[in-house]
Homo-oligomer: A and B are copies of this chain.
Amino acid sequence: MTYPPIDDGPVAGRRLYFDNNATTPLLPAVSDAMYEAVTTFGNPSSAHLYGEAAAALLDKARVSVAALLGCRPEQVVFNSGGSEGASSVIVGTGLRHVSEAGHIITSAVEHPAVLRACEFLRELGFELSVLPVDGAGRVDPPALQRALRRDSRLVSIMHANNETGALQPVDALSGIACEAGVAFHCDAVQTAGKEHIVVAEGFVTISAHKFHGPKGVGALEVRTEAPLQKLVFGGEQEHDRRAGTENLLGIVGLGAAADAARARLGDPDQQSRRRAIGSALREGLSSITGAVVNSPAEDCLPETVNVSFQGLRGDTIVDVLSARGIAVSTGSACHSAHLEPSHVLLAMGLSADLARGAIRFSCSCLTTRSEVDEVVAVTEHTVRQLYTTSPGCD
């Protein structure tokens, strides 16, 4: 796929987007569906033809998302994306139990949407257990079993890690929580549209823009009898679980993205192509001098390759690659001159230096083999140049 050009790119012509875990471009089928829906402008709650036409689009999208997730349409609660999804379950749990507080369990490698919300609950008086991970970034199910207490209110563990692609055994984890009668939340933002999500019982958060839908729209799957506290109040939209006039265009886009993702998941050719592209990327990058691959070899999203270059800084590599028309990321948000090493890589046992040298390459279904080859070649050249420039090298 050729990506749309961006103004003032210094490397004429080259545009390689390998930051699909940050966000993905809309598929043509998604933008077409949204274009078509622009004229259906009614409020889905309105009791007239304009409202009914809008409500029909909403229903259709709900069926599409339910089909992707393998749940019933009424178990789908549309919202504004992954951060709201996670916050609504976690902060909602805090609000429901605010007077007696209690205990919350999460893992050390969660996205800030989960970690920050859990830390907020700690401020409200809850106790927080943060389960450690092994070198592959995985939580050990028996560790969850041991951490559970009588006053545990919620277990929140992600499916695929956004920085490394490592998959958690969420089926086992949700089963353990469920058996103990504790509500389970799975942040499946990085798996939705890429892998089947197998959660025995619980809340599942997904976000459209990670699988070629629009940004700022997502869904919470409520596959549980556990109560869900409303966070956004107002009308009785979404079966009275999330108020506010619905983001109709965004939801139509989410529905179209879900349809396309379901087709990919069911297509063996697309799945083997996806694995082949991922392997080529992983092998190409791992052969570069100084490279240490941080993404586990097994049980990992093939489209995510997290790699550190010993002695180099990830943010510098990202900036030089960006100037060469290649979009990748450090995987951790970098807000200051002082580069914080990724909490995910530190939890996996990497040294701070190696963690600071990490960059994340992430593909999508639009990524081609020749793009992979080009990105590996340019990365190799860039890494070699940075080593040459380093004070300690020759």
Interface residues of A (CB under 8 A from B): 3-4, 6-9, 17, 19, 22-26, 31, 34-35, 38-43, 45-53, 79-84, 86-87, 90-91, 95, 98, 111-113, 116-117, 120, 124, 207, 209, 214-217, 230-236, 243-251, 315, 318-319, 321-322, 325-330, 333-335
- Can you give 21 A-B contacts (C-beta < 8 A)? A6-B53, A7-B53, A8-B49, A19-B43, A19-B50, A24-B41, A34-B249, A47-B329, A83-B232, A87-B231, A87-B232, A87-B234, A91-B233, A98-B124, A112-B234, A113-B235, A116-B243, A215-B247, A216-B247, A216-B250, A250-B250
Chain B residue at minimum C-beta to C-beta distance from A79: B80
Instruction: Choose one: B8, B113, B249; the contact of A214 (CB below 8 Å).
Output: B249
Q: Is the CB of B231 within 8 A of A231?
A: yes
CA of A35 to CA of B32 in the docked complex: distance in angstroms? 10
How close is A58's CB to chain B, nearest CB, in angstroms?
10
Instruction: Choose one: B35, B49, B112; the contact of A243 (CB below 8 Å).
Output: B112
CA of A7 to CA of B325 in the docked complex: distance in angstroms? 47
Residues in B neighbouring A233, C-beta threshold 8 A: 83, 86-87, 90-91, 112-113, 116-117, 120
Chain B residue at minimum C-beta to C-beta distance from A81: B244
Chain B residue at minimum C-beta to C-beta distance from A335: B236
Indicate whether A244 sits within 8 Å of B113 (C-beta atoms), given known contacts A216-B217, A329-B48: yes
Residues in B neighbouring A217, C-beta threshold 8 A: 216, 247
CA of A326 to CA of B80 in the docked complex: distance in angstroms? 32
Indicate whether A48 sits within 8 Å of B335 (C-beta atoms), given known contacts A84-B232, A113-B234, A216-B217: no
How close is A1's CB to chain B, nearest CB, in angstroms?
12
Residues in B neighbouring A215, C-beta threshold 8 A: 43, 245-249
How close is A313's CB to chain B, nearest CB, in angstroms?
13
Chain B residue at minimum C-beta to C-beta distance from A49: B6
Chain B residue at minimum C-beta to C-beta distance from A24: B41
Closest 8 CB pairs of A and B: A216-B247, A83-B244, A113-B234, A83-B234, A4-B39, A48-B322, A80-B80, A116-B233
Chain B residue at minimum C-beta to C-beta distance from A22: B43
Chain B residue at minimum C-beta to C-beta distance from A229: B120
Copies assembled: 2
CA of A116 to CA of B231 in the docked complex: distance in angstroms? 11
Q: Is the CB of A43 within 8 A of B23?
A: yes
Residues in B neighbouring A111, C-beta threshold 8 A: 234
Residues in B neighbouring A4, C-beta threshold 8 A: 39-41
How close is A180's CB to chain B, nearest CB, in angstroms?
25
Q: Is the CB of B6 within 8 A of A50?
A: yes
Residues in B neighbouring A82, C-beta threshold 8 A: 234, 244-245
Q: Is the CB of A17 within 8 A of B47?
A: no
CA of A228 to CA of B17 in the docked complex: distance in angstroms? 36
Q: Is the CB of A333 within 8 A of B235?
A: yes
Chain B residue at minimum C-beta to C-beta distance from A112: B234
Indicate whether A209 sits within 8 Å of B31 (C-beta atoms), given known contacts A87-B232, A113-B233: no
Q: Is the CB of B124 within 8 A of A327?
A: no
Residues in B neighbouring A79, C-beta threshold 8 A: 80
Residues in B neighbouring A113, C-beta threshold 8 A: 233-235, 243-244
CA of A48 to CA of B235 in the docked complex: distance in angstroms? 40
How close is A204's CB to chain B, nearest CB, in angstroms?
17
Residues in B neighbouring A24, C-beta threshold 8 A: 41
Residues in B neighbouring A7, C-beta threshold 8 A: 53
A4-B41, A82-B234, A91-B233 given; 19 more Cβ-contact pairs under 8 Å: A19-B42, A19-B46, A22-B43, A43-B209, A47-B319, A47-B334, A48-B318, A48-B327, A79-B80, A80-B216, A81-B244, A81-B247, A83-B233, A87-B243, A113-B234, A116-B233, A215-B249, A216-B217, A236-B333
